[in-house]
Homo-oligomer: A and B are copies of this chain.
Amino acid sequence: MCQNTAVPRYVDKDERRRHVAAALRRIAAREGLEGVSIRTVAAEAGLSVGAVQRDFGTKDDLLRFALREALANVSRRFSGIRVGPGGLSFAEGLRRVLTDLLPTDDERLAEARVWSAFYARAAVDPGFADTLAELDARARAALRAAVGWAAEQGELAPGQDPDALVELLLVLVDGIWLSAVRRPPGASLDAQRAAVSAAVAAVTGGEGRGTRRG
């Protein structure tokens, strides 16, 4: 009796929300946000329209949830890349982050497409822009810490303003990530990898100044 009153009755509601959000992202990666409708998402998730409606009151709620989830997936990957004392050098961390964004598999390609779709939407929808700004602030904080540490270690090219560098890195991350979108389907990733190398080299001032660490 009353073993857990907080848990939803039939299925785990949060899990189903994630399931629906994943279906939305699959459609968005395949056809863009224009192909996303309550009906298509429900069909992709194997649910009825009413079920999706009940889990997410409105379509915007669904979109926003899917955006947050999509970015949570990416940042979860990044959480494994630790820059700082006891972790990676700044250059190596930057290289790994940028490389991780490249569309090396279908999942990453889909992420980039979804990101571009949400990005475009944020351009005209203040609600989405707010969500983006919040995530932006988080990324900025993480980058600031990494750049601050890199500056201490003398790992940066001389004459770089750390705050300006943080802004540049934000731009770089976006640019690299979105470059997946403009890459022709069959093309190799060499150009993108080259861009990553050039970015790391430019930011850190060539290969390896500053203190090296194991």
Q: Which residues of A contact B (CB under 8 A)?
A: 29-35, 112-113, 116-117, 119-126, 129, 132-133, 136, 157-161, 163-165, 167-168, 170-176, 178-179, 181-182, 184-185, 191-192, 194-195, 197-199, 201-203, 205-207
Q: Verify A120–B117 contact, CB threshold 8 A.
A: yes
Q: A130's closest neighbor in chain B, by CB?
A: B184
Chain B residues closer than 8 Å to A178, beta-carbon distance: 119, 174-175, 178
Query: Given A157-B157, A199-B168, A120 and B33 touching (CB < 8 A)?
Result: yes
Chain B residues closer than 8 Å to A132, beta-carbon distance: 182
Chain B residues closer than 8 Å to A35, beta-carbon distance: 124
A179 partner, pick from B29, B30, B34, B174, beta carbons under 8 A: B174
Return the 9 tightest CB-CB contacts between A and B, nearest first: A175-B175, A164-B194, A167-B195, A171-B175, A120-B120, A168-B198, A164-B198, A32-B124, A202-B202
In the complex, the count of this chain's copies comes to 2
A116 partner, pick from B119, B164, B173, B199, beta carbons under 8 A: B119
Chain B residues closer than 8 Å to A191, beta-carbon distance: 167
Bound CA–CA A205/B116 (angstroms): 31
Shortest Cβ distance from residue A174 to the other chain B in the assembled complex, whole angstroms: 5
A124 partner, pick from B31, B125, B167, B207, beta carbons under 8 A: B31
